[in-house]
A and B are shown apart, each in its own frame.
Chain A
Amino acid sequence: MTPVMLGLIGIAVFFVLILLRMPIAYAMALVGFVGFSLLVNPQAGFSMVARELYSTFSSYSLSVIAMFVWMGFLAYYSGIGSRLYVFAYKLVGHRPGGLAMATQVACAAFGAICGSNTATAATMGAIALPEMKKYQYDDSMATASVAAGGVLGVLIPPSVIFIVYGMSTEQSIGQLFIAGIIPGLLLMLMYIATIRLLTLRNPNLGPAGPKAGWRERWQALRGGLGEVLAVFALSMGGLFAGWFTPTEAGAVGAAGVLLVALLGRHLNWEGLKSSLLDATRTTAMIMLLVAGAVIFGRFMAVSRLPFELANWTAALAMPPWAVMALILLIYLILGCFIDALALILLTIPIFYPIVVGNLGYDPIWFGVITVLVVAMGVITPPVGMNVFIIKGVAPDVPLETIFKGIWPFLGAIIVCLAILIAFPGISTWLPNLLR
């Protein structure tokens, strides 16, 4: 059997194992180890696993993931998410669908101090859903808008997926962070437009709430957005000003949220403890995925599958945009079944050399596009992580109802994606300006 054939069989076995409910990280590590051992030898396989586990866990650059994840949980436990939401709904809550629009603004702002889309969805779900229920929003509209809003947390920096993409491709994490800002804001506006259109057609989807005066709005602004702006300016501003590295920015961000929370007396001992324990759990999950992908990547490298695939694509008589479209379609399909982070880790070693090396696309632009495409997977059936999280927050709403409401938001993401593909400058202009 040729190494390439073994690589293909390895991928098939990986899919069988994850469909049989083996955690994705375990399946990647196990298949990676067995494949590597068959192609090299078992002794080399075991020492590779031990070495890669240690080197991934002790990676200085990846330590930032733990910090950005903790930052998000600190913001949740200190009620920053809740204060952000209050500000957003005092601003637009009086319009039809206003609470759902407010959720998008709050998700985008929360994304600026949180690295994980699931944490953004969980935080906003817990805060926004009870409010929307109070104002008799349609269940489908309420739950789907929060699940979709979580995607904003992926694009708006800091973002764990961008860090992992940057690490896998040796691209600047700072540049990727900047590149995500405008597409993130664009997507937020697309969501708001979608909600507006939906409520214009059927106002019962999101009845208008009470209107707040400018004085109330100003007070809410100081409470919620002020804290976020201060922390964002400190961690991201200091990073772009060159005061500290991207890795250090995570620790500065976590310290900033902790300081804001302690000064405002919004965090007690229990909250601090819970934030740390939630952060260790989430970080362990992410880092075992990364380690599993690294081990799987070793197997892929010795099987020579990525190189053969790159050669095969180069020999295809297809224009670059058609190859790109094919790759995005593969991402879209796989994204329905595999977690966004795992998908990036699994596929970047295979597709990145083709897209950037063979086809000559911009690596930062490809990062933004890939991250957005895989992020769609967190709200598409049958495995939409954000939808499951929202289901956890609103157990009385059936999964089908949430997925039914997701379609218009998916449409908004696809339009946003088309705009980003048609006008690559939207993603690359800001990083080039600040380079």
Chain B
Amino acid sequence: MKYLTALVQGFSRVLDRIAGVCLFAIMFLVVLNIITRGIFNHPIAGTYDYVNLLTAAAIGLALAYCAFQDGHIAVSFVMEKLPPKMQAVIDLLINSLGLVFWALAAWFTAGYARSLTANNMVSATSEVPLSPVVYLITLGLVGLGLVLLLRIIESWKRMIS
């Protein structure tokens, strides 16, 4: 269990760090584009595309660590009033439902990425292939699924303890 927690935490944290680098890159690129456009009348070609792709990568990659830190907003005032065992059972069911949904979403997002590759889909101005970013979102969803798996195991342990 300890190993699994460390593994999921490590994996989601690495993805989150990459997301942080993407955010910094977006800021840098946009500001540089404004400066070169305003002063030299020469904008950086493809900024719009790069910002789109970097934003998608940043968000996709940050999903899992956000879930690991319980950052996705949930309402808990009803559940807190229930006995701990019942809470564990409901958490197990709800997280299982979440896991099934996000695992399927990851599967179909990967399928969407494959179709983008097959059709040679590229961004509008800089003609960067779109599929790698969609694969990164898939990776983020896989991470999210792993976090949910961890929560299911934790609920199971609470249930039988």
Residues of A within 8 A of B (CB): 17-26, 29-30, 33, 46-47, 49-51, 53-54, 57-60, 62-63, 66-67, 70, 243-244, 247-248, 251-252, 254-255, 258, 273, 276-277, 279-285, 287-289, 337-339, 342, 382-383, 385
In contact, A54 and B112 (Cβ under 8 angstroms)? yes
Question: Inside 8 A of B137's CB, which chain A residues have their CB?
Answer: 53-54, 57
Q: Please tell me which one of the listed residues B19, B59, B61, B75 contacts residue A338 in the complex, with CB atoms under 8 A apart.
A: B75
Q: Which residues of B contact A252 (CB under 8 A)?
A: 30-31, 34
Q: Which of B1-31 contact A (CB under 8 A)?
A: 16-17, 19-20, 23-24, 26-28, 30-31
A25 touches B108 (CB 8 A): no
B34 to A50, Cβ gap below 8 A?
no
When the two chains form their complex, are residues B31 and A251 in contact, meaning their CB atoms are under 8 A apart?
yes
- Report the minimum CB–CB distance from A13 to chain B (whole Å): 11
Which residue from chain B places its CB closest to the CB of A337 in the assembled complex?
Answer: B75
Known contacts A30-B101, A281-B66, A288-B63: A50-B108 contact under CB 8 Å: yes
Report whether B105 and A57 are in contact in the complex, using a CB–CB cutoff of 8 Å. no
Q: Most chain-B CB neighbours within 10 Å: which of A243, A255, A279, A284?
A: A284
A251 to B48, alpha carbons, bound, how many Å?
13
Determine the residue in chain A with the shortest Cβ distance to B76: A21
Tally inter-chain residue pairs, CB-CB below 8 A.
Answer: 178
User: Known interface pairs A51-B112, A248-B30. Does A59 touch B55 (Cβ–Cβ under 8 Å)?
Assistant: yes
> CA–CA, A258 to B61, complex, Å?
24
Q: How far apart sit A47 and B133, CA to CA, in the bound complex (Å)?
A: 17
Q: Give the secondary structure class of B's interface.
A: helix
CB distance from A254 to the nearest CB of B (A): 5
B94 x A21 contact (CB < 8 A): yes
Pairwise interchain contact B38-A243, C-beta atoms closer than 8 A: yes
What are the residues of chain A within 8 A of B48 when measuring CB–CB?
60
Residue of A nearest to B102 (CB): A26
| Chain B min CB distance to A15 (Å) | 10
The answer on a CB contact under 8 Å between A273 and B101 is no
Residues of chain B at the chain A interface (Cβ within 8 Å): 16-17, 19-20, 23-24, 26-28, 30-31, 33-34, 38, 48, 51-53, 55-56, 58-63, 65-67, 69, 71-79, 90-91, 93-94, 97-98, 101-102, 104-105, 108-109, 111-112, 133-134, 137, 141
CA distance A29 to B100 in the complex (A): 12
Would you call B55 and A248 a contact (CB within 8 A)?
A: no
Q: Contacts of A53 on B, CB cut-off 8 Å?
A: 105, 109, 137, 141
When distances are taken between beta carbons in the complex, the residues of chain B under 8 Å from A244 are 34
14 cross-chain CB contacts under 8 A: A20-B94, A22-B74, A50-B111, A58-B53, A66-B58, A67-B30, A70-B27, A243-B34, A254-B27, A280-B20, A280-B66, A281-B65, A283-B59, A288-B72
- Residues in B with CB closer than 8 Å to A251 are 26-27, 30-31
Contact between B91 and A277 (Cβ–Cβ < 8 Å)?
A: no
Given contacts A243-B34, A247-B51, A283-B58, 7 further A-B contacts (CB under 8 A): A22-B74, A50-B112, A63-B55, A66-B59, A248-B30, A280-B61, A288-B72
Contact between A21 and B69, CB atoms less than 8 A apart? no
- A58 interface neighbour in B27, B33, B133, Cβ under 8 Å: B133
Given contacts A67-B27, A279-B23, contact A23 B73 (CB under 8 A): yes
6 A-B pairs with the lowest CB-CB distances in the bound complex, closest first? A251-B30, A58-B56, A284-B62, A23-B72, A276-B20, A50-B112
Query: Does A284 lie within 8 Å of B97, measured CB to CB?
Result: no
Find B51's partner among A50, A63, A243, A338 (CB 8 Å cutoff): A63
- Contacts A251-B31, A281-B69, A383-B75 known; A49 to B108 CB distance under 8 Å? yes
Q: How far is B76's CA from A134's CA once the two chains are assembled, in angstroms?
A: 33
Cα distance A243–B63 in the bound complex, in angstroms: 33
Contact call B30/A283, Cβ cutoff below 8 A: no
Q: Which residue of chain A lies nearest to B134 when distances are taken between CB atoms in the complex?
A: A54
Chain A residues contacting B102 (CB-CB under 8 Å) are 26
Residues of chain A contacted by B34 (CB below 8 angstroms): 243-244, 248, 252
Q: Given the known A-B contacts A59-B55, A281-B71, are A26 and B101 also in contact in the complex, defined by CB atoms under 8 Å? A: yes
CB of B27 within 8 A of CB of A280, answer no
Q: Which residue of B lies closest to A54 (CB)?
A: B134
